[in-house]
Amino acid sequence: MKTTLLVMTLNEINGMKVIMPQVDRSWVDQIIVVDGGSKDGTIEWARDSGYEVYVQKQRGFRHAYTEVWPLITDDVVITFSPDGNSIPGLIPDLIAKINHYRLKIHSLED
Protein backbone atom coordinates (compact mmCIF):
# COMPACT_ATOMS: atom_id res chain seq x y z
CA MET A 1 0.00 0.00 0.00
CA LYS A 2 1.41 3.37 -0.99
CA THR A 3 0.52 6.53 0.90
CA THR A 4 0.45 10.22 0.02
CA LEU A 5 0.56 12.89 2.71
CA LEU A 6 -1.26 16.07 1.67
CA VAL A 7 0.00 19.00 3.73
CA MET A 8 -2.60 21.75 3.54
CA THR A 9 -1.19 25.25 3.99
CA LEU A 10 -2.17 28.89 3.93
CA ASN A 11 0.38 31.17 5.58
CA GLU A 12 1.78 28.39 7.76
CA ILE A 13 5.50 29.26 7.67
CA ASN A 14 5.98 29.04 11.44
CA GLY A 15 4.20 25.72 11.72
CA MET A 16 5.99 24.33 8.69
CA LYS A 17 9.38 25.11 10.22
CA VAL A 18 8.47 23.42 13.53
CA ILE A 19 6.18 20.56 12.49
CA MET A 20 7.49 19.33 9.13
CA PRO A 21 10.97 18.38 10.39
CA GLN A 22 9.12 15.94 12.69
CA VAL A 23 7.63 14.13 9.68
CA ASP A 24 9.94 11.32 8.60
CA ARG A 25 9.74 11.25 4.81
CA SER A 26 10.21 7.47 4.84
CA TRP A 27 6.79 7.05 6.49
CA VAL A 28 5.00 7.87 3.22
CA ASP A 29 5.66 7.48 -0.47
CA GLN A 30 4.69 10.99 -1.53
CA ILE A 31 4.34 14.33 0.25
CA ILE A 32 2.57 17.20 -1.50
CA VAL A 33 2.24 20.62 0.08
CA VAL A 34 -1.05 22.05 -1.16
CA ASP A 35 -0.98 25.79 -0.68
CA GLY A 36 -3.90 28.19 -0.86
CA GLY A 37 -1.78 31.18 -1.88
CA SER A 38 0.46 31.93 1.08
CA LYS A 39 2.20 35.29 1.27
CA ASP A 40 4.43 34.56 4.27
CA GLY A 41 7.13 32.41 2.66
CA THR A 42 5.43 29.05 3.19
CA ILE A 43 5.65 28.12 -0.49
CA GLU A 44 9.30 29.10 -0.79
CA TRP A 45 10.27 27.32 2.43
CA ALA A 46 8.49 24.14 1.34
CA ARG A 47 10.19 24.14 -2.07
CA ASP A 48 13.59 24.93 -0.55
CA SER A 49 13.05 22.02 1.85
CA GLY A 50 12.51 19.67 -1.07
CA TYR A 51 8.76 19.22 -0.87
CA GLU A 52 6.56 18.94 -3.93
CA VAL A 53 4.35 22.05 -3.84
CA TYR A 54 1.05 22.64 -5.58
CA VAL A 55 -0.40 26.16 -5.39
CA GLN A 56 -4.16 26.16 -5.76
CA LYS A 57 -5.76 28.12 -8.54
CA GLN A 58 -9.02 28.49 -6.57
CA ARG A 59 -9.22 28.91 -2.80
CA GLY A 60 -10.86 26.47 -0.43
CA PHE A 61 -10.37 22.87 0.65
CA ARG A 62 -12.76 21.53 -1.99
CA HIS A 63 -10.66 23.06 -4.75
CA ALA A 64 -7.44 21.93 -3.08
CA TYR A 65 -8.52 18.32 -3.29
CA THR A 66 -9.95 18.43 -6.80
CA GLU A 67 -6.97 20.33 -8.21
CA VAL A 68 -4.24 18.20 -6.60
CA TRP A 69 -5.93 14.82 -7.14
CA PRO A 70 -4.28 14.19 -10.56
CA LEU A 71 -0.83 14.53 -8.92
CA ILE A 72 -1.45 11.82 -6.33
CA THR A 73 0.32 8.60 -7.24
CA ASP A 74 -0.70 6.41 -4.33
CA ASP A 75 -3.50 4.26 -2.91
CA VAL A 76 -4.16 6.13 0.35
CA VAL A 77 -4.26 9.86 1.04
CA ILE A 78 -3.74 11.36 4.48
CA THR A 79 -4.55 15.02 4.98
CA PHE A 80 -2.16 16.76 7.36
CA SER A 81 -2.10 20.23 8.87
CA PRO A 82 1.18 21.83 9.98
CA ASP A 83 -0.57 24.21 12.37
CA GLY A 84 -0.16 21.93 15.39
CA ASN A 85 -3.54 20.20 15.08
CA SER A 86 -2.00 17.14 13.38
CA ILE A 87 0.54 15.12 15.33
CA PRO A 88 3.42 13.87 13.15
CA GLY A 89 4.28 10.94 15.40
CA LEU A 90 0.84 9.41 14.86
CA ILE A 91 1.32 9.04 11.09
CA PRO A 92 2.99 5.58 11.23
CA ASP A 93 0.26 4.22 13.53
CA LEU A 94 -2.45 5.61 11.26
CA ILE A 95 -0.87 3.99 8.21
CA ALA A 96 -0.53 0.68 10.07
CA LYS A 97 -4.20 0.75 11.07
CA ILE A 98 -5.32 1.59 7.54
CA ASN A 99 -3.21 -1.27 6.19
CA HIS A 100 -4.54 -3.65 8.85
CA TYR A 101 -8.17 -2.90 7.96
CA ARG A 102 -7.43 -2.94 4.24
CA LEU A 103 -5.96 -6.44 4.58
CA LYS A 104 -8.86 -7.54 6.76
CA ILE A 105 -11.41 -6.34 4.20
CA HIS A 106 -9.40 -7.93 1.40
CA SER A 107 -9.39 -11.29 3.20
CA LEU A 108 -13.18 -11.12 3.67
CA GLU A 109 -13.60 -10.57 -0.06
CA ASP A 110 -11.65 -13.74 -0.90
Domain limits for position 25: 3-109
CATH number at residue 49: 3.90.550.10
Question: Which pLDDT tens digit goes with each residue over 11-30?
Answer: 999 999 999 999 999 999 99
Instruction: Give the number of domains in the chain.
Output: 1
**Amino acid at the residue 81:** S
| pLDDT band of 71, cuts 50, 70, 90 | very high
32: Cα separation from own chain's centroid? 6
The answer to whether residues 28 and 97 touch, using CB atoms and an 8 Å cutoff, is no
Rounded Cα distance between 71 and 16, Å, is 21
Q: Determine contact, residues 34/4, Cβ cutoff 8 Å.
A: no
Confirm if 14 and 82 have CB atoms less than 8 A apart: no
The C-alpha angle 11, 16, 20, rounded to 5 degrees, equals: 155
